[in-house]
Structure 1
Amino acid sequence: MRSIGGQDHTEETPNGVSQSNSSDLPSFLSSSSYPITLKFIDVCYRVKIVEKNGKGRFKRMLINPGGGSPPSATYEERTILHGITGMVSPGEILAILGPSGSGKSTLLSALAGRLQAAGHGFTGTILCNNKKRSKQISKRIGFVTQEDVLYPHLTVRETLIFCSLLRLPRTLLKKEKISVAESVISELGLSKCENTIIGNGFIRGISGGERKRVSIGHEMLINPSLLILDEPTSGLDSTAAHRLVSTLESLAQKGKTIVTSIHQPSSRVYQMFDSVLVLSEGRCLYFGKGNEAMSYLESVGLKPSFPMNPADFLLDLANGVCQVDGLSEREKPKVKQTLVASYNNLLAPKVKAICMDSSSTNSIQLNQHHSSTLEQRSSENRISLSTWLNQFSILFRRSLNERKHESFNTLRVFQVIAAAILAGLMWWHSDFRDIQDRLGLLYFISIFWGVFPSFNAVFAFPQERAIFMKERASGMYTLSSYFMARIVGDLPMELILPTLFLIVTYWMTGLKAELGAFVLTLLVLLGYVLVSQGLGLALGAAIMDAKQASTIVTVTMLAFVLTGGFYVHKVPSCMSWIKYVSTTFYTYRLFINVQYGDVNRISYLLGCYSRHENTDRAASCKFIEEDIRGQISPMTSIGVLLLMFIGYRILAYLALRRIKG
């Protein structure tokens, strides 16, 4: 294994990243690491595959997740991991190889502590330094998921600085936290792209390899002793994969314990692995040193028919497809069973004996006093998280930086301006006494600013679900600080566009030409936008599926619009209750009140009390009176909208609370 000596030196890694000595790093990164030897013994994981009503629709469930299966469901039990055992020490890289569906990601999730809380399907023992994982040790573990979960509009520098401000202990000054982020950027070779946005499939940004290194940087900020990575080279070419693994190798040389799954490593990448664990259908085929794998396979009668990359040969064997000397076609399908049996008989007893022996470890040995001191220091640094207000401030600034691109993109601004101009031209300087047309304008405004913000808001939480779950699992912030920052961060952006809309439409259409009336109309509109936004947030958080939630919010707003009081005056009694929960119903009446006052004022303007009213005027009077019949007081409308504003957001918050990271 690698030496983990304490010599400070500068070296150039194979990926061209200059590694500076520890004296150049902030004290938090250069402080003495807490070495972790990871052991996992007989790790098993089982799930239920539930088939509902015999229609072939399967739903994965944990064993006994909540007390049994649905009465009408049939299920089969499937074991994902079959008693996996192994260990890895500080300064080493353990690579987990295997085909897709072999259980690599599940095993890594178990090692990272992400399965125990999920249900009773997990069994086995996972030890850190021969002890069960404590909170202090858990905070020394970094977990990089297979997918890069990052905000696309933030730059590399912004991404890591915001993460540093949130994750590092409060005992560090802001300047020191930024210095830590800058050191990680330099250490991972991201300096050239630090001012480039992350990007995604639709937005051009940094390369796939750089994006993966940013994900690793997220975890490197906390100076982890154990770093677990799920297929970090997925989607990268051979050169980029080699550079990335070279970065992991340089981290291991500093005394960190590295565990990574990898799908198809090249021969030069394979040579960097100290230990290799090969899985197939949840069973272990080999565990041991990477450079001893081929000799072990030869000892059990499996030798490739031509020289090849050990990783390729191991994966061929795991897939049951191989070219082996001296093996007939009839014997080839039994290769996998042979490997499993050989492992169970030859390697498994030795591996278990090493893992069960608490005194034998290849890691740096710490005496009891030193270990407790480090855990105490870790506890002091980690438990002192940022205050709620500090978390809120950082998350608010991050939300503004990320959301400004979405809120003010060209198409969205064009949509609002086009609607404002179109409405202005359609109702150009309409007559104050032409009340029927004016009510149509007010109702159009109610429809547009009911549907537009609610439909946009419904995507907010579903789109951020992966990031939210990842960051919450890392303990970066409290749910309440995230929720408030997300809500408040949207306000300036959500309120600017309706203000711009009303400025254009109000004066083009010739609505009540008084500053007070304009201000009141604007206040009603902004309040309505916030209520509609809250409706979208609540539905999005409750359903957490953007497509389904957008459908539900469309149907809901359609019901609100139809019962709002303009289209249908005689609503069937079975549906009349909808108008009392309709945001459009109350907003429309507030708009009418600002422009015209009460129903008597409107009747007077139309001359409905005249004894010589003609047929057309009589029809208009009947329309107006029916349109606002039973008009509730403005204060009641304001009160109901205020309750909706608060209520929808409380529902959204409660819906988010049920999501577990």
Structure 2
Amino acid sequence: MLGCSAFVAIYQAGQNIYELFDKVCVLYKGRQIFWGPAEEGVAYFERMGYMKPPRMTAPEFLTAVTSPSSRQIRPGFEGKVPDSSEEFADYWTNSPEYSRLVDELNEFNSTHNGEETRQRLDYANQQRKQRGNRQKSQFTISYWSQVYYLMLRGFQRTKGNITYTIVYLSSFVTKGFVVGSMYYHIPKSTVGAYSRGGILFYVLLFCSVTSLAEIANSFATRNILTKHKSYSMYHLSAEALQEIITEFPTKFVAVVILALTTYWMPNLKHTAGAFFMYLLFLLTIQQCMSFTFKCIASVCKDGTTAHAIGGLWVLMMCVYTGFVLPLNQMHHWIKWIHYLNPMFYAFYSLMGSEFHRKHMPCYHFIPSGPGYENVSLANQICALSGAVAGQDWVDGDAYLYRAFDFRWHNVWKYWGINVCWTAGFIGLNAFMAEFVKNVEGGGDMLLFKRGCLPDTSNGEDWDGKVASREEMMLALNGPDADLDKIIAEADIFSWKNLDYVIPYDGATRQLLCQIQGYVKPGTMTALMGESGAGKTTLLNTLAQRINFGTITGDMLVNGRPLDGSFARRTGYVQQQDLHMAEYTVRESLRFAADLRQGDNVPQEEKYDYVEKIIDCLGMSKYAEAMVGKIGRGLNVEQRKKLSIATELVAKPSLLLFLDEPTSGLDSESSWSIVQFLRALADSGQAILCTIHQPSATLFEVFDRLLLLKKGGKTVYFGDIGPNSSTMLSYFERNSGVKCGVSENPAEYILNCIGAGATASTNHDWAELWNNSPECAAESATIDQLHRDLPSRPVNNNNGDLDAVFAASYRTQLWVVLKRTYTQFWRSPVYIRAKFLECVSCALFVGLSYVGFDHTVGSAQAAFSSVFMLLLISVAIINQSHVFAYDTRELYEVREKLSNTFHWSCLLLCHTLVEIGWSTICQFLIFICYYWPIRFSGTAENAGFFFFINVLIFPMYYVTYGLAVLYFSPDVPSASMINSNLFAMMLLFCGILNPKKWSPKFWSFLYVASPFTYFVQAFVGPILHNRKLECAYSELFIVDPPEGTQCGAYFSNYIKTNGGYLVNPESESNCHYCPYVMQSDVVLQFGIKWKDHWRDFGIAWIYIFANVGFMLTGYWYFRVYGGNPMSAIKKLFSAKTYKPAKRHEKDNTIFQPQPNDSKIGTVKK
């Protein structure tokens, strides 16, 4: 129909699907053993000597012949049929079917000209392509059409992911008003010069730090984009180019808000030209930084490496912006970096715009104060770089030149350079996007622990044979177990009148309607229905995994309400096979056994049971293999076996839930899994399993069936019977259609109820079931169970039934800690990126500030180097978010719902291990930063700096970073929130704007910012007890009154303000240095050595506060389910849902109640 040839690899195809194909190809261990018409495949292998059971489908039979455990030999052909893949291949090459295939190929090649065929194919492809598209292009539409359609999708994605857009815009709005109000009405005098430079630098820094989130965004969509690339849907460079248009409106609005608030509130130059220049440069630098980090993401293979490079890039740009390290203080051998820095051009241009032709009235003269009231202005100089003696104002251009070595005429040249940088990064991002590799496929590359590679020289398969019924009974129950007694005494799970309603589009929607049933020990119950019928919903509801909407009805164990141990007395095998990638199969199972079996069970016994499960599932060969990820780890079947084994080692005494355990598997693997479940059920386990359109042979393995139709209504619940006879008799009686001898009963019943792809029905099968004698019989059985079972004695073999967790909290903490440490140790990419980040950034800062001496400039440089040291931690935090999020996702999807361990263990253990590795990294930072700059080597100074920087500071930023992640919905949001909070802490730490110069309203944030105390603790020991000697350019030169010596003239001023004179006996050109000790330089920032132990104590307060916030935030947002946006919406909503209990604890629960129609809420 599509005019093309389709070559399809398909798993578990039904007979109807198989009959749609023309040809079939059968492979066996990489060798072709048949190719021919689909209708001849079965006959070929039957003629070979293999037997096809009556209800086995053709594709299932063709798969079975390649499995020694599944194929059946016809009587009389024993020892005559091929057995190995080589023998099958030899049989095929000697068969008439193969000769016919060769003849057809030769005939086709002789009658068709290859070149002519190729030309016709090229012409046909060209006809399908859009006009203007390249002739040899693999894409259907032209490049710019791809950009257009991707642009439309980009706008749709922005609209769909409105949460991130709101967070992004909110960050700019909040930061704009905070910064604008903090620098509110900067004085026009010289005292405001530093603050004007500070706000311009901070705004540029904020734009850069927030752009780091582009790395997380890029990796969040990479898998989808590379998948589309493999389909030849579009160029990835087209996706990169469309982002210019689709992201610009949001960024434009954000930058305009930031520009308005940070320009007019601080009282910057009041001219329209200066403001629009400010806005233009912010837009340019925002776009430039955004595509810079997109480009970094395109170059890197993983997020951790990209964050490491991104952090180093931010640091390089900040150091060589020219504010914290002016041009005249940069070392000549590394000064060239500023030419590569877009922030340098933006900062100098904005400074030029702000200070050009600006006359700043002098705020403080040297000398001045008591005793200098009548001194002539000619004998004073303003205390600011660029001042001229005898002048009561300072020219802005002179200040820029003296302080920053900048000239106004370079402004527009610098803007042009930034435009070129932006265009260059856009082009480089588009170019590198084309080289992003496709998603790695496969899953058959096993990775083993060192020294644990098994011997495969005998040619055995990796996957061993699953255990038989007898072997399973022996492993699970022991040699002397009485199976009949075990089954008779086992608990029975039942449910009745189960409804599930969710709020939907201002109303409600019912997903389950009056469902009832039970699962007895030793039986397998299949849960079936068409897509959307509510199979997984019902399974999650029964497993107590629903935390949204309203559930009514009763779920009981032995006729009693569920207790707190229900989750750990049941196993739940999810459809998604999520496991710790860094653990081996054996370690994963031992971890589950340690935590999901009680502390009263000896560890040796737990591990022996793990080995039994490994043997039963045939996993011995790869028990020491790493779980890994798709492409480098276990394959699909091996992962599914591990999922089942993880639940089995918990010894689920009540029930085992499975959600489509055969999905994604071929027929042979599906048969292997179902046979294992059959053996498990025969040994006494109760099993409830959703399954989607199974083959006849798989379906008949089950004992009972619960069939649902759309709307969550029961269509059938009861026995399947031998050869599906019991079930078929019900459907044949009510439909009037007989099931064929070779027809799949599972497909037959789905067609009966109108659930097939082309099926329809005129019957209301839910109503037919409710009025049927079978339904009445099952209801009577359930009522009988509820009358008889409560009289049973409580089975306390599992310990305290009210205990939520099997293991004690101490055991949980220790076992999770060991796993977390192993996870870090086996993640070399993450650790390598972390070490690379720390060493490169610290060494870069250390070499940039090398040559620490006794001048004012060195004291200021030491102060600013600490600012750079703080910036290193923001990239480390962003790195840790990606790693911690994967662990959080694993816990929330699987381990949390099965009550494996308490959520606080995850948080505390990950924090402890992360602190350990970060402390090692911080030690390397100390070595690469402290000694190259040549700071003080005394034990008092260097020792305290080492103590606070290496041992205390990593505790702070790790706990802070994880606290942000654990309440954030995803990594991009966490990165954005972290960038904003981090920028706030930097803003109020006193470096960019001292506390005494900011409005009193914001004074409390200087006290609240933890970086205030870390800056004081870092800078204090660096400058403590160091004498200061001003360089000549740092001296203030002024003439004393005629006939007066400099010493006499400055005596009162020095007593009041400090400092010293270089030439006290001179009568002209007094050389005054305003500081005596280097620590005096930072006194205006509130940094005092005597406060260093106070800062140490306050740092501990913040560390414990971070831990408390981390635990509280995770509980509220991830456990309790709090949502600030929902709370705001509820204020404007008239409809509310009152909470009510899900299970009533009385003996009349099955009698009609006056409040039966009342809806009870599970969770708001």
TM-score by length of 2: 0.48
Q: Is the CA contact 2:593–2:606 (under 8 Å) kept in the aligned structure 1?
A: yes
| CA shift digits 1:14-49 (9 cap, x unpaired) | 782234365666869979575233332221111112
- SS of the aligned residue for 1:148 comes to coil
Q: 2:634, 2:589 → 1: CA distance? A: 14
Residue of structure 2 in register with 1:193 after alignment: 622
Q: 2:498, 2:597 → 1: CA distance? A: 32
Residue of structure 1 in register with 2:713 after alignment: 283
What amino acid is the match of 2:1019?
A: I
Residue of structure 1 in register with 2:992 after alignment: 567
Residue of structure 2 in register with 1:540 after alignment: 965
What amino acid is the match of 1:657?
A: W
What amino acid is the match of 2:524?
A: I
Residue of structure 2 in register with 1:16 after alignment: 465
Are residues 1:416 and 2:838 paired?
A: yes
Residue of structure 2 in register with 1:351 after alignment: 778
Once the two structures are TM-superposed, the CA of residue 123 in structure 1 deviates from its matched residue by: 1.7
Are residues 1:376 and 2:796 paired?
A: yes
Q: 1:426, 1:637 → 2: CA distance? A: 27
Q: Is the CA contact 1:227–1:258 (under 8 Å) kept in the aligned structure 2?
A: yes
Once the two structures are TM-superposed, the CA of residue 628 in structure 1 deviates from its matched residue by: 4.4
Q: Is the CA contact 1:168–1:222 (under 8 Å) kept in the aligned structure 2?
A: yes
Residue of structure 2 in register with 1:62 after alignment: none
- Given the superposition, is the C-alpha separation of residues 378 and 442 from structure 1 closer, same or farther in structure 2, using an over 3 Å criterion? closer
| CA shift digits 1:582-605 (9 cap, x unpaired) | 23222121111111128x966899
- Given the superposition, is the C-alpha separation of residues 95 and 418 from structure 1 closer, same or farther in structure 2, using an over 3 Å criterion? same
Mean Cα displacement is larger for which, 546-555 or 380-389? Answer: 380-389
Residue of structure 2 in register with 1:7 after alignment: none
What amino acid is the match of 1:583?
A: P
Q: 2:527 aligns with which of 88, 92, 96?
A: 96
Once the two structures are TM-superposed, the CA of residue 139 in structure 1 deviates from its matched residue by: 4.5
- SS of the aligned residue for 1:448 comes to helix
Residue of structure 1 in register with 2:687 after alignment: 258
- Given the superposition, is the C-alpha separation of residues 615 and 315 from structure 1 closer, same or farther in structure 2, using an over 3 Å criterion? farther
Residue of structure 2 in register with 1:38 after alignment: 493
Q: 1:166 aligns with which of 585, 595, 607?
A: 595
Q: 2:923, 2:478 → 1: CA distance? A: 49
Q: 2:767, 2:816 → 1: CA distance? A: 53
- SS of the aligned residue for 2:511 comes to strand
Are residues 1:440 and 2:861 paired?
A: no
Once the two structures are TM-superposed, the CA of residue 196 in structure 1 deviates from its matched residue by: 1.5
- Given the superposition, is the C-alpha separation of residues 136 and 447 from structure 1 closer, same or farther in structure 2, using an over 3 Å criterion? closer
- SS of the aligned residue for 1:409 comes to helix
What amino acid is the match of 1:39?
A: S
Unaligned runs of 5+ in 1: 1-11, 52-74, 325-331
Residue of structure 2 in register with 1:509 after alignment: 933
Are residues 1:126 and 2:555 paired?
A: yes
Residue of structure 2 in register with 1:342 after alignment: 768
Once the two structures are TM-superposed, the CA of residue 321 in structure 1 deviates from its matched residue by: 4.2
What amino acid is the match of 1:213?
A: K
Summarize the alignment of residues 148-227 of structure 1 with structure 2, pairs less than 5 Å apart: 148-201=577-630, 204-225=632-653, 226-227=655-656
What amino acid is the match of 1:568?
A: N
| CA shift digits 1:174-213 (9 cap, x unpaired) | 2112112222222222212211222235x72111222222
- SS of the aligned residue for 2:582 comes to coil
Q: 2:753, 2:834 → 1: CA distance? A: 51
| CA shift digits 1:356-376 (9 cap, x unpaired) | 233999xxxx996xx53x713
Residue of structure 2 in register with 1:405 after alignment: 826
Q: 1:586, 1:277 → 2: CA distance? A: 65
- SS of the aligned residue for 1:263 comes to coil
Q: Is the CA contact 2:739–2:745 (under 8 Å) kept in the aligned structure 1?
A: no
Residue of structure 1 in register with 2:513 after alignment: 82
Once the two structures are TM-superposed, the CA of residue 623 in structure 1 deviates from its matched residue by: 12
Are residues 1:586 and 2:1013 paired?
A: yes
Once the two structures are TM-superposed, the CA of residue 348 in structure 1 deviates from its matched residue by: 2.9
- SS of the aligned residue for 1:375 comes to coil
- Given the superposition, is the C-alpha separation of residues 567 and 406 from structure 1 closer, same or farther in structure 2, using an over 3 Å criterion? farther
Residue of structure 2 in register with 1:301 after alignment: 735
Q: 1:165, 1:29 → 2: CA distance? A: 26
- Given the superposition, is the C-alpha separation of residues 185 and 603 from structure 1 closer, same or farther in structure 2, using an over 3 Å criterion? farther
Mean Cα displacement is larger for which, 308-317 or 270-279? Answer: 308-317
Residue of structure 2 in register with 1:395 after alignment: 816
Mean Cα displacement is larger for which, 549-558 or 399-408? Answer: 399-408
Q: 2:601, 2:478 → 1: CA distance? A: 10
- SS of the aligned residue for 1:170 comes to coil
Residue of structure 2 in register with 1:452 after alignment: 876
| CA shift digits 1:430-449 (9 cap, x unpaired) | 43542222222222112212
The number of residues matched between the two structures is 606
Q: Is the CA contact 1:451–1:557 (under 8 Å) kept in the aligned structure 2?
A: no
Q: 1:496, 1:144 → 2: CA distance? A: 39
- Given the superposition, is the C-alpha separation of residues 638 and 128 from structure 1 closer, same or farther in structure 2, using an over 3 Å criterion? same
Q: Is the CA contact 1:151–1:198 (under 8 Å) kept in the aligned structure 2?
A: yes
Mean Cα displacement is larger for which, 102-111 or 476-485? Answer: 476-485
| CA shift digits 1:302-340 (9 cap, x unpaired) | 64897542323444556644556xxxxxxx3x44x5322
Q: Is the CA contact 1:143–1:227 (under 8 Å) kept in the aligned structure 2?
A: yes
Q: Is the CA contact 1:450–1:528 (under 8 Å) kept in the aligned structure 2?
A: no
- Given the superposition, is the C-alpha separation of residues 571 and 136 from structure 1 closer, same or farther in structure 2, using an over 3 Å criterion? closer
Mean Cα displacement is larger for which, 29-38 or 136-145? Answer: 29-38
Q: Is the CA contact 2:598–2:799 (under 8 Å) kept in the aligned structure 1?
A: no
Q: 1:359, 1:79 → 2: CA distance? A: 26
Q: Is the CA contact 2:493–2:519 (under 8 Å) kept in the aligned structure 1?
A: yes
The structure number with the bigger radius of gyration is 2
Q: 2:1092 aligns with which of 629, 634, 650?
A: 634
Once the two structures are TM-superposed, the CA of residue 256 in structure 1 deviates from its matched residue by: 0.8
- SS of the aligned residue for 1:149 comes to coil
- Given the superposition, is the C-alpha separation of residues 138 and 644 from structure 1 closer, same or farther in structure 2, using an over 3 Å criterion? closer
Q: Is the CA contact 2:580–2:890 (under 8 Å) kept in the aligned structure 1?
A: no
What amino acid is the match of 1:46?
A: V
Mean Cα displacement is larger for which, 512-521 or 251-260? Answer: 512-521
Once the two structures are TM-superposed, the CA of residue 135 in structure 1 deviates from its matched residue by: 5.0
Mean Cα displacement is larger for which, 456-465 or 234-243? Answer: 456-465
What amino acid is the match of 1:445?
A: L
Q: 2:827, 2:989 → 1: CA distance? A: 30
Summarize the alignment of residues 298-337 of structure 1 with structure 2, pairs less than 5 Å apart: 298-301=732-735, 303=737, 308-316=743-751, 320-321=755-756, 332=760, 334-335=761-762, 337=763
- Given the superposition, is the C-alpha separation of residues 13 and 43 from structure 1 closer, same or farther in structure 2, using an over 3 Å criterion? farther
Q: Is the CA contact 1:455–1:553 (under 8 Å) kept in the aligned structure 2?
A: no
- Given the superposition, is the C-alpha separation of residues 26 and 311 from structure 1 closer, same or farther in structure 2, using an over 3 Å criterion? closer
| CA shift digits 1:249-298 (9 cap, x unpaired) | 11101011100112232332212111122222211222233314444332
- SS of the aligned residue for 1:251 comes to helix
Q: 1:615, 1:560 → 2: CA distance? A: 39
- Given the superposition, is the C-alpha separation of residues 13 and 223 from structure 1 closer, same or farther in structure 2, using an over 3 Å criterion? farther
Once the two structures are TM-superposed, the CA of residue 542 in structure 1 deviates from its matched residue by: 2.5
Q: 1:367, 1:81 → 2: CA distance? A: 27
- Given the superposition, is the C-alpha separation of residues 513 and 273 from structure 1 closer, same or farther in structure 2, using an over 3 Å criterion? same
- SS of the aligned residue for 1:378 comes to coil
Q: Is the CA contact 1:99–1:280 (under 8 Å) kept in the aligned structure 2?
A: yes
- SS of the aligned residue for 1:299 comes to helix
Root mean square deviation, CA, Å: 3.7
- Given the superposition, is the C-alpha separation of residues 305 and 478 from structure 1 closer, same or farther in structure 2, using an over 3 Å criterion? closer
Q: 1:13, 1:616 → 2: CA distance? A: 96
TM-score by length of 1: 0.81
Q: 2:682, 2:781 → 1: CA distance? A: 23
